[in-house]
Amino acid sequence: MFMTYAAQTVAAIRMAFADRANFFLQMAGMAVNNCFFFLLWILFFAGFRSVGGWQLADVSLLLGITMTMVGVAGVFFGGYRDMAAAILRGEADALLTQPKPVLTRLLARESFAHAWGDAITGTALLTTLAGLDAARLPFAVLGVLISLVVYVSASMTFASLAFWASGARSLARDLTDFMLLFSSYPGSVYSGPTKLIAYTILPAGFVVLAPVEFLRTPTPGHLAIAVAGAAGYAAIALCTFHLGLRRYQRGGTPTTGA
């Protein structure tokens, strides 16, 4: 299974790299976009030294994890982005006739050039302005992996709604975009209902806030919370997808030509 997934991912990356001029333009464009977004935070902290106890280094850590996670997801699991549309178009039909898992093939079907720009800028933030010393860089890799699992799992769960609703394509993308938006701000801005949403429906809390807390204070307790969140959302995603796939095989899935 892994070898098949790796081969399909490599093929998707090669396809994204086929038009080199377009590849580098998209990559550079995303890097510039991220730099402008981060510049806004620099300007903010030039006037306000902290927000709810978060300083520039903390926001650099948060954005570094977010950008790197989105970049890795887009390069190696790009199919998550429009999985709902693939389900509604009936693309799973051909995959069901093959012995390999449907989910891995759906995830590996695309790789985005602009995702490399996210990965590069995110890595640059983590290694420069995030305040991580050499001893904590391995923890940063672990934090990105935990973040990646939660992000892709939540996106898969949203996309799997297409097995039940024909309007799930736009809903899944909107929920994923809102999750990223929630993940781009310091945890101190969330309280009450918004904090509940950030740790449940749109799990920004487990996408970045739990990994950031672990990196700021690397204790076994903080690591356990982050890992438990990742395991929980991965289990939800797998259960939702496979339940939907069974319904699809029985012919109960709404379809669209979109």
Domain limits, the chain: 2-249
What are 51's strand-pairing partners? 54
Among the residue ranges 24-28, 64-68, 145-149, 252-256, the one predicted with the least confidence is: 252-256
Single pTM value for the model: 0.92
Calculate mean pLDDT across residues 103-132.
93
For residue 1, name the pLDDT band (cuts at 50, 70, 90).
low
Q: Would you state the pLDDT for residue 95?
A: 83
pLDDT at 31 over 70: yes
For residue 194, name the pLDDT band (cuts at 50, 70, 90).
confident
pLDDT at 227 over 70: yes
In the chain, pLDDT over 70 holds for what percent of residues?
97
- Return mean pLDDT, the chain: 90
- List, for residues 230-244, the tens digit of each pLDDT value: 999 999 999 999 999
Calculate mean pLDDT across residues 62-67.
96
